Amino acid sequence: MFRPKWTWILASLLWSASTAHASPVVMISLDGLRPDDVTQAEARGIKVPHLRALLAEGAHAEGVIGVLPTLTYPSHTTLITGVAPLEHGISNNLTFDPQAKNQQGWYWYGSDIRVTTLWQAAHQAGLRTASIHWPVTVGASGIDENLPQIWRTGMPDDAKLMNALATPGLLNRLEATLGTYEPGIDESVDGDAVRVKFAQAILADRPAFTTIYLAGIDHEEHRSGPGSPAANATIGRTDTLVGALVASARAAMPDVTIVVVSDHGFLPVATDINLFAPFVEAGLITIGKEGKVESWQAEPWIAGGTATIVLAHPEDAVTRARVATLVRRLAADPRYHIAQVLDADETHRRGGPGEAAFMIAMQPGYETGRDPAAPLAQPSVYKGMHGYLPDVPAMRSTLIVAGPSLTRHGDLGVIDMRAVAPSIAHVLGVTLSAARLPSVF
């Protein structure tokens, strides 16, 4: 994983200087928020007074270099563990499902995380924890008040599912005064607004560590494109929600540290590239009569701006060699708009998916298509995408911190996403066993 030299220097200085006392922490994730949407808000015509106030009051990163792939679920798991996907085990948003049997199943379950989380570390230290709509939290241990992120169809049964999976009695207690909780399938800013009301009620319980996830910016930037009027308006509305959360947190806990993060940046996208068809043509995927995968030896696991190539039998050297020849040929063909191919060793060196035999990284403006029967290239459904290599500057994410525990203020430079969780652990006064980077705030 690319890591600027000055990140290590800065981290070492801050670690040696830091003597902050334990403080409650509220971490708010704004999916897809780009750093410049706050630091250059006025120039971009974006109204974010609450985020700008936090930035002026505290510390912020010029940019956060994320993980491989730059997707929501792998990134959020890094933010809560301090390690990359290779270690924590969340390699994509959707689970690998080569024959489409899992009905669009995501990595919803906390049991899939292989290392200790901040919730667990805080809980083990006797601190009360809470989480609202954070990815990979169904059944997650260490969360005392948990409204996990999950959905299926958006039908009324989703509400029953949510009630069954939330902390027992929590949803009924809150809905008695706040009305109906918003189903997880609603990723709009309006859905976020409902969930923020529930988060405000939970903050009144004064948990020592709270995570809150808002999806509206990402939702609109996929639909309309980053920098579009609709996306900028959504950022402004989300800023109002952040202001409400900060006010509630500070009213309940005057010494609270507010940590605003995002998981990735965004790029405009115009074209879907079909990576499945070459694998079918090479006999590595067999499509049955109903147009579904009947059998496979190697298959792309798509991730927006990248695709992880997975082998059914990783020990099969003959198949691995066939796939290597295929991906090299695709990379050399300008019609596929491939920026780079990583082999397993390079993927794992960068902290990417342990399942990868290869990773294919797309050029900006192009994404991995979802339909094996599609033409090689066709207009994309989305107007904005992420998932590209983390060293692409447009993939950098956001960090803004404000509170009495800070040892440094102003611009922290470019930091590594893996440093966020140990920094929060330091503020909380707990130990995060798997994380190896020192605190940066």
Is residue 79 classed as helix, strand or coil in its secondary structure? helix
Residue 407's pLDDT band (boundaries 50, 70, 90)? confident
Q: What is the mean pLDDT of residues 404-426?
A: 95
Q: Dihedral through CA 116, CA 119, CA 122, CA 125, nearest 10?
A: -70
CA distance 32 to 290: 36
CA distance 175 to 184: 15
The tens digit of pLDDT for each residue in 102-111 reads 999 999 999 9
* Whether residue 218 has pLDDT greater than 80: yes
Distances (CA, A) of 416 to 210, 217, 255, 377: 22, 22, 26, 34
CA distance 419 to 18: 14
Q: Which residues contact 176 (CB under 8 A, 6 or more apart)?
A: none
The tens digit of pLDDT for each residue in 117-148 reads 999 999 999 999 999 999 999 999 999 999 99
The tens digit of pLDDT for each residue in 141-188 reads 999 999 999 999 999 999 999 999 999 999 999 999 999 999 999 999
The tens digit of pLDDT for each residue in 51-88 reads 999 999 999 999 999 999 999 999 999 999 999 999 99
Residue with tokens 């989703």: 158
The tens digit of pLDDT for each residue in 334-380 reads 999 999 999 999 999 999 999 999 999 999 999 999 999 999 999 99
Instruction: Specify the pLDDT at position 20.
Output: 43
Question: How many residues does this entry show for the chain?
Answer: 441
CA distance 202 to 134: 14
SS (H, E, C) 276-335: HHHHHHCCCEEECCCCCEEEECEEEEEECCEEEEEECCCCCHHHHHHHHHHHHHHHHCHH
Q: What is the mean pLDDT of residues 389-412?
A: 96
Token pair recorded at residue 41:
């808000």
Q: Which residues of 270-295 are buried (b: 16+ CB within 10 A; e: fewer)?
A: ebbbbbbbbbbeeebbebeeeeebee
- Calculate Rg over the CA atoms of the chain: 21
Cα 131–Cα 136–Cα 142 angle in degrees, nearest 5: 50
Q: Count CB atoms within 10 A of the CB of residue 310.
A: 20
CA distance 172 to 151: 18
Cα 165–Cα 238–Cα 233 angle in degrees, nearest 5: 135
69: closest CA among 429, 417, 387, 402? Answer: 387
Measured in whole angstroms, the distance separating CA 180 from the mean position of its chain's CA atoms is: 26
266: closest CA among 300, 214, 236, 228? Answer: 228
CA distance 171 to 179: 10
Q: What is the mean pLDDT of residues 23-37?
A: 98
Q: Dihedral through CA 261, CA 36, CA 106, CA 97, nearest 10?
A: -140
Instruction: Specify the pLDDT at position 15.
Output: 37
CA distance 106 to 117: 19
- Residue 308 burial class via C-beta count within 10 angstroms: exposed 0-12, middle 13-18, buried 19 and up: buried
The secondary structure element, H or E, covering residue 249 is: helix 229-252
Q: Which residues contact 294 (CB under 8 A, 6 or more apart)?
A: 99, 286, 287, 288
Q: What secondary structure letter does DSSP report for 393?
A: G
Token pair recorded at residue 5:
């030299």
Beta bridge partners of 376: none
N-to-C CA span, the chain: 22
Instruction: Specify the pLDDT at position 142.
Output: 98
Is residue 74 classed as helix, strand or coil in its secondary structure? helix
Residue ranges of domains in the chain, CATH in brackets: 5-266+391-428 (3.40.720.10), 268-385 (3.30.1360)
* Whether residue 14 has pLDDT greater than 50: no
* Whether residue 223 has pLDDT greater than 70: yes
